[in-house]
């Protein structure tokens, strides 16, 4: 599997305190990866290192095919758009300033049959190839305009009709409009292209930022708390939309979120950080079903873990959703419901007998306080951790 980023030997200190300590981490390409953990865990710091906003000395951070900072898409808590200009202009500036996009469009232009005829000159042919083979963004503009001057004089006298077409076709905005029409339809912003950025909603701004990234051929998009300013309904739609766009454009998305549920809904992989170190990096299913540490198990558990047994060295736990209760069919049951709380379409029950008290999570809200119930624990879902780990 290709990797969008490879990280080695990252040790970042601030005020003599280790903020991030990652010996090695490989992030797969074309996946949505969520960075989660408590405040101060190092989530945003890692995002900043990937974008080169921050630098860790003596570390190695390699992006797929050496993606440059300018070709990464960013969606931050503050949606950075030029508020006084239109959505169209915001996206155009992103494309125009992208080396990858400019190079692609100008290279397409150089495949025009008339231009190929123009390449018959050995000197001009070499200049065209020099431009096409250039990988340095700083040289792209000067190389192209040198070529443009040669074409200007060549076609001005040889084919004036094509010369006039050349002037029109070389305008970047002409290429841009064709690309934008396709992308705007895909990200559902066609109707707001002429609106000023200051007059669109937070959810629409996120779509514009995604469009800016897609049009400049970004393979990597970094998102820092992208849902924090959105209300619940818009957030749900945005999560579904991001998953769809990621698949359609084959994007790699790395995002920071404080909400475990958002991470589980959206992610292919989840990276759990605590105190600047990796607790677990795995698929979301493995993080949820096979937590590597007590911290991870507890972090992704609501309500809290139930302690079911312990010995000198370890403790065993079960998640509330892995305890099943049903109304007792006879008087032999020793378990009784002592509290009930409805949360959306789920119900939290607290049940007790003479020895233990458990919290359970159920979709059945028909049982009531005082009911006697049978309790079944899914033995395969029991989680066992060493005492010293739990105490950390």
Confidence at residue 276, expressed as pLDDT on a 0 to 100 scale: 95
Q: Which residue has the tokens 């979709």?
A: 363
Q: Which residues pair with residue 21 across a beta bridge?
A: 11
Q: Which of 152, 177, 202 is the last residue of a domain?
A: 177
Tell whether 173 and 224 lie within a shared domain.
no
Q: Are residue 107 and residue 149 in the same domain, yes or no?
A: yes
Q: Does a structural domain hold residue 185?
A: no
Same domain, 224 and 266: yes
* Whether residues 368 and 317 fall in one domain: yes
Residue 192 forms part of a structural domain: no
For residue 39, being part of any structural domain is answered with yes
Are 113 and 173 contained in the same domain?
A: yes
Indicate the residue among 146, 177, 208 that finishes a domain: 177
Q: What average pLDDT values come out for the chain (392 residues) when binned by 10 residues?
A: 93 89 96 96 94 89 87 78 94 90 81 64 76 82 79 68 62 82 93 95 89 92 88 88 93 95 96 97 96 96 94 95 92 90 94 94 95 96 92 62
Residue environment code for 122-155, b if the CB has 16+ CB neighbours within 10 A, otherwise e:
eebeebbeebeebeebeebeebbeebeebbeebb
Query: Facing residues of 277 across strands?
Result: 274
Decide: pTM greater than 0.95: no
Looking at the domain assignment, is residue 196 inside a domain? no
Tally the domains of the chain.
3
Predicted local confidence at residue 128, as pLDDT: 78
- Quote the CA–CA distance of 133 and 143 in Å, as a whole number: 11
Of 123, 157, 177, which residue is a domain's last? 177
- Residue 72: inside a domain: no
Residue 104 lies in a domain: yes
Domain that holds residue 23: 3-67+219-282
Q: Quote the crossing angle between the two packed helices 122-133 and 99-109, to the nearest 10°.
A: 150
Tell me, yes or no, whether 243 lies in a domain: yes
- Based on the fold, state whether residues 135 and 60 are members of the same structural domain: no
């Amino acid at each position: 599997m290709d990797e969008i980023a490879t990280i080695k030997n990252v040790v970042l200190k601030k005020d003599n305190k280790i903020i991030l300590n990652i010996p090695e981490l490989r992030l797969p390409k074309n996946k949505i990866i969520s960075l989660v953990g408590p405040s101060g865990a190092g989530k945003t710091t890692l995002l900043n290192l990937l974008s080169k906003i921050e630098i860790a000395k003596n570390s190695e951070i390699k992006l797929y095919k050496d993606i440059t900072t300018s070709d990464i898409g960013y969606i931050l808590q503050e949606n950075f758009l030029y508020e006084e200009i239109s959505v169209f202009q915001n996206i155009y500036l992103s494309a125009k300033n992208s080396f990858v996009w400019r190079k692609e469009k100008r290279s397409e232009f150089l495949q025009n049959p008339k231009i190929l005829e123009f390449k018959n000159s050995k000197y001009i042919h070499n200049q065209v190839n020099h431009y096409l083979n250039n990988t340095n963004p700083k040289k792209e503009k000067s190389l192209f305009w040198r070529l443009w001057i040669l074409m200007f004089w060549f076609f001005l006298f040889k084919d004036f009709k094509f010369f006039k077409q050349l002037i029109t076709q070389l305008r970047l905005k002409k290429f841009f409009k064709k690309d934008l029409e396709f992308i705007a339809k895909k990200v559902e912003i066609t109707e707001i292209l002429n609106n000023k950025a200051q007059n669109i909603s937070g959810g629409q701004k996120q779509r514009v930022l995604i469009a800016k990234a897609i049009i400049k051929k970004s393979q990597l998009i970094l998102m820092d708390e992208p849902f924090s300013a959105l209300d619940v309904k818009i957030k749900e739609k945005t999560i579904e939309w991001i998953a769809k766009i990621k698949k359609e454009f084959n994007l790699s998305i790395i995002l920071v979120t404080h909400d475990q549920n958002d991470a589980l809904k959206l992610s292919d992989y989840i990276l759990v950080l605590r105190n600047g170190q990796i607790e677990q990096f795995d698929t979301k299913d493995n993080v949820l079903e096979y937590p590597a540490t007590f911290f991870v198990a507890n972090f992704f558990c609501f309500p809290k873990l139930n302690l079911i047994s312990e010995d000198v060295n370890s403790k065993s736990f079960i998640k509330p959703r892995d305890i099943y209760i049903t109304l007792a069919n006879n008087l032999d049951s020793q378990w009784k419901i002592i509290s009930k709380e409805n949360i959306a379409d789920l119900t939290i029950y607290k049940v007790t007998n003479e020895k233990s008290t458990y919290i359970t999570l159920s979709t059945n809200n028909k049982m009531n306080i005082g009911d006697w119930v049978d309790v079944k624990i899914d033995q395969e879902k029991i989680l066992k951790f060493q005492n010293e780990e739990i105490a950390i």
